[in-house]
Amino acid sequence: MSDDRIEVSIAKQQLRYYQNDELVMDVSVATATNGPGEQSGSECTPRGSHYIRAKIGAGCAENTVFVGRRPTGEIYQAALKAKSPERDWILTRIMWLCGTEPGKNRLGKVDTMRRYVYINGCPDEDPMGIPSSHGCVKMRNSDVIRLFDLVSVGTPVEITEE
């Protein structure tokens, strides 16, 4: 098994993916508007050690809309956004994160998985490099497809403030 890992920097709004210590991806992302934090209901991006608990959306078309981790049958486009501007658009692929640190990002009121924190696609017009999510790590659709195809369930994900 290779030594794969994902590192997310909240300060840099950056995701890096390494395979056997070789940098394979280095892309801009968008983490939470509310900044870092682990509390349930905070809409903050959780810090610390995580892993990919589940991968959802294999084979779905780019811009497939997900609600409750299930495809809705919709394909995102500007007209759809205009009809429902308040929706939190989770698109294309989902990598559902699970914390590994009890009391910090696992179990109780700080459980990343129960908070439904993902690495996911978003509308391509959403800015990257600027905090703008409800807690998830948002990526360009082409980037999230590439990452999804490279990683396995169980891949470690480290989210830092640096």
Domain boundaries, the chain: 30-155
133-145: average pLDDT: 98
Backbone conformation region of residue 153, classed left if phi is above 0, alpha if psi is from -120 to 50, else beta: beta
23-42: average pLDDT: 98
Q: pLDDT tens-digit profile of 144-155?
A: 999 999 999 999
Q: How high is the pLDDT of residue 2?
A: 64
Q: Is the pLDDT of residue 1 over 90?
A: no
Please tell me the pTM assigned to this model: 0.96
75-87: average pLDDT: 93
| Both structure tokens of 126 | 């959403």
Q: Is the pLDDT of residue 34 over 80?
A: yes
Query: Do the strands 70-75 and 64-67 form a parallel or antiparallel pair, or are they unpaired?
Result: antiparallel
Give the fold, CATH level 3, of 30-155.
L,D-transpeptidase catalytic domain-like (2.40.440)
Average pLDDT, the chain: 97
- Expressed in angstroms, the distance from the first to the final Cα of the chain is 28
pLDDT confidence tier of residue 67, bands split at 50, 70 and 90: very high
Cα–Cα distance, 29 to 40 (Å, whole number) = 22
